[in-house]
Amino acid sequence: MSDHPPFKIDEEFCVGHGRCYALAPESFQPDEMGHGVVRDYRDGPATREPGVVVNACPESAIELITVGGDAEKGSQS
Ligand code: SF4
């Protein structure tokens, strides 16, 4: 198992749409302001479709951390 969470949220871009924790509550939770927070990866099962969650963020604030530790940002279309 990886020793880091599979996601990272850029707090500068997150405005609190809530799509991340609506789509993948096993990986994200809201903070007190409704902004997305990555859950501790040891809390539960991994998100089945991480790319879908990354691309669901309207602000491209979610990054998928690959095995080598690099981050891959979602793209807006
Ligand atoms: S979907 Fe994006 S903007 Fe919305 S709460 Fe999650 S990370 Fe923040």
**Residue with CA at minimum distance from ligand 1 atom 3:** 14
Q: Give, for ligand 1, the residue of 29, 37, 57 to mutate: max count of ligand atoms closer than 8 Å to Cβ.
A: 57
Res. 2: pLDDT tops 80:
no
User: Which amino acid is present at 71?
Assistant: A
Q: What is the pLDDT of residues 41-53, one digit of tens each?
A: 765 566 778 889 9
Residue 1 near residue 46 (C-beta atoms within 8 A): no
Domains in the chain, CATH or no CATH each:
7-73 (3.30.70.20)
> Residues enclosing ligand 1, CB less than 6 A?
9, 14-20, 35-36, 57, 59, 61-62
**Per-residue pLDDT band at 20 (split at 50, 70, 90):** very high
Mutate to test the pocket of ligand 1, among 13, 15, 20, 28 (most ligand atoms within 8 A of CB): 20
> At 66, is the pLDDT very low, low, confident or very high (cuts 50, 70, 90)?
confident
The pTM for the full model equals 0.80
Q: Are the beta carbons of 9 and 17 closer than 8 angstroms? A: no
In a 10 Å sphere around its CB, with 0-12 CB exposed, 13-18 middle and 19+ buried, how is residue 68 labelled?
exposed
